[in-house]
Homo-oligomer: A and B are copies of this chain.
Amino acid sequence: MITGIEARDIRFPTSRHSHGSDAMNPDPDYSCAYATLHMRGGDPDGNGLTFTIGRGNDLCVSAIEGLGLHLIGRELDEFEEDLGLASRLLLNDSQYRWLGPEKGVVHLAAAALINAVWDALAKRAGKPLWKYVSDMPPERIVSAIDFRHISDYLPKAEALDRLTQQAGGRAERTAALIRDGYPAYTTSAGWIGYTDEEIVRRLRAAHAEGWRHFKIKVGGDLEGDLRRCKLFRDTLGPDVRLSVDANQVWDVDDAVQAIRAMAPYDIYWVEEPTSPDDILGHKAIAEQVSPVLLATGEHAHNRVMFKQFLQAGAIGFCQIDACRLAGVNEVLAVMMMADKAGVPVCPHAGGVGLCEYVQHLSMIDFVCISGTMTDRVIEHAAHLHQHFVNPIETRNGRYIAPSAPGYSVDLFPQSIADHEFPHGKVWAEEMAG
């Protein structure tokens, strides 16, 4: 039984070294509101987190504490029997819902809690989350999805048909996944606060490690963006993939102009070219810069937004986020819609804990839903993994399938203690200057 919810305000002072910096976010302190479901009666505790970049992380902590009351007193068996229960309990509190609805702080907090429930379920089953889900019959996976407000695009019966159709190949794909891992790209070379020299050094090092798909930040002045694209091609040549990320800074017409100017550098995708709410704006940009494809999703706050990006044909890549969406349940809905649209799922993972989370999601997509890794990559950012009990493993530019039970975001107790804001050791030192 869930007897208590603990929520911690964990922050890492990443802004010291411009890790994670981009055109919209010059000085992020990668942070998370870290939720633990304490259990009584022999079931394992569950951990979940929601990612933020510093100030306001405390709001997510408070929201976890408030929303979490809905879980207290529930048995883990109830969540096992009804995979949609946690999601319904947390998203349908009408008073909290008003503050979104299904977006912002409350949705982020719900994600941490919902993911903590999935973590406990997978741990109890002794399986990593991707395997826990991949071992479920199609009916059970569908039972986790809330089809409200998406049934016009993806009716429940159609989702079930698709999962059933793909179920036959699961064993073979699971074997391939364990053998080969899952393709990835790296963001760690191209943060906007890095100097050109730093970028070149990091690109070369990453290439030597086996990376063949890179992302760099753009959206500063256009001349600088083009210089960085040229720097990239001059350093690594034409045979590697380059994606760029503008982090929302352009208006529609600016985006079209900038993307056309960058196109000669052979851009794999352009990420967040404008407001993440602007479905019609993305569509207008996409039509004018074709065949360059757009990617978005790290700020697409729920399944209804993704539904429209996919309906409109506005994006070429679907960038789910493990905790911007309301946890595993809503991610499943979005991955199934992306599959229907034929749009590859390439998760967002620049942050803390996001790589650990999303590897499971891409693997579920491969084994259960899309059945393919073609054109699909998981983002990789090389920061802060040392704080996790079961950190990601990558080799030759691919994620190794995780094998530890759960959803992989358990933080070491010492990392929690040191980075708790504002009184942990790291912050006490930071504030002392």
**A29: which of B95, B150, B280 is its contact (CB, 8 Å)?**
B95
**B251 near A55: Cβ-Cβ < 8 Å:** no
Beta-carbon nearest neighbor of A147 in chain B: B251
Q: In the assembly, what is the distance between CA of A103 and CA of B275, in Å?
A: 12
What does the 1/0 interface line of A46-71 toward B look like (CB < 8 Å)? Answer: 00000011111011101100100000
**A149 near B95: Cβ-Cβ < 8 Å:** no
CB of A231 within 8 A of chain B? no
Q: In the assembly, what is the distance between CA of A63 and CA of B93, in Å?
A: 20
Beta-carbon nearest neighbor of A29 in chain B: B95
Query: Which A390-426 residues have C-beta < 8 A from chain B?
Result: none
**B105 near A59: Cβ-Cβ < 8 Å:** yes
**A152: which of B29, B103, B252, B302 is its contact (CB, 8 Å)?**
B252
How many residues on chain A are close to B (CB under 8 Å)?
A: 60
With A105-B106, A152-B253: A53-B95 Cβ-Cβ less than 8 Å: yes
Q: Give the chain B neighbours of A160 by CB distance below 8 A.
A: none
**A101 near B248: Cβ-Cβ < 8 Å:** yes
Query: Which A21-77 residues have C-beta < 8 A from chain B?
Result: 24-29, 52-56, 58-60, 62-63, 66
**A311 near B280: Cβ-Cβ < 8 Å:** yes
**B53 near A98: Cβ-Cβ < 8 Å:** yes
CB of A308 within 8 A of chain B? yes
**A277 near B305: Cβ-Cβ < 8 Å:** yes
Q: Give the chain B neighbours of A277 by CB distance below 8 A.
A: 102-103, 149, 301-302, 304-305, 308
CB of A171 within 8 A of chain B? no
**A281 near B149: Cβ-Cβ < 8 Å:** yes
**A103: which of B28, B103, B150 is its contact (CB, 8 Å)?**
B103
Q: In the assembly, what is the distance between CA of A91 and CA of B98, in Å?
A: 20
Q: In the assembly, what is the distance between CA of A98 and CA of B275, in Å?
A: 12
What does the 1/0 interface line of A101-143 toward B look like (CB < 8 Å)? Answer: 1111111100000000000000000000000000000000000
Q: Shortest Cβ distance from A100 into chain B, in angstroms?
A: 6
CB of A96 within 8 A of chain B? yes
Q: Give the chain B neighbours of A251 by CB distance below 8 A.
A: 148-152
Q: How many identical chains are in the complex? A: 2
Q: In the assembly, what is the distance between CA of A425 and CA of B301, in Å?
A: 38
Q: In the assembly, what is the distance between CA of A149 and CA of B62, in Å?
A: 31
**B104 near A56: Cβ-Cβ < 8 Å:** no
Q: Shortest Cβ distance from A272 into chain B, in angstroms?
A: 10
With A104-B100, A106-B105, A149-B278: A95-B302 Cβ-Cβ less than 8 Å: no
CB of A217 within 8 A of chain B? no
Q: Give the chain B neighbours of A63 by CB distance below 8 A.
A: 56, 59, 105
CB of A178 within 8 A of chain B? no
Q: Give the chain B neighbours of A104 by CB distance below 8 A.
A: 99-100, 103-107
With A104-B106, A152-B253: A96-B281 Cβ-Cβ less than 8 Å: no
Q: In the assembly, what is the distance between CA of A60 and CA of B63, in Å?
A: 11
Q: Shortest Cβ distance from A93 into chain B, in angstroms?
A: 7
Q: Shortest Cβ distance from A300 into chain B, in angstroms?
A: 10
List 25 A-B pairs, Cβ < 8 Å. A24-B97, A27-B94, A29-B95, A53-B98, A54-B95, A55-B66, A56-B95, A56-B99, A58-B66, A59-B99, A62-B62, A101-B248, A102-B275, A104-B104, A104-B105, A149-B275, A149-B278, A150-B251, A151-B251, A277-B301, A277-B308, A278-B308, A280-B307, A280-B312, A281-B304
* Chain A interface residues toward B at CB < 8 A: 24-29, 52-56, 58-60, 62-63, 66, 93-108, 148-152, 248, 251-253, 274-281, 284, 299, 301-302, 304-305, 307-308, 311-312
The 7 closest A-B CB pairs, nearest first, are: A104-B104, A152-B252, A55-B95, A54-B95, A105-B105, A149-B275, A277-B304
Q: A60-B99, A149-B281, A152-B284 are in contact. List 11 more A-B contacts (CB 8 A).
A: A27-B95, A55-B96, A58-B62, A101-B276, A104-B104, A150-B251, A277-B304, A278-B307, A280-B308, A280-B312, A281-B308
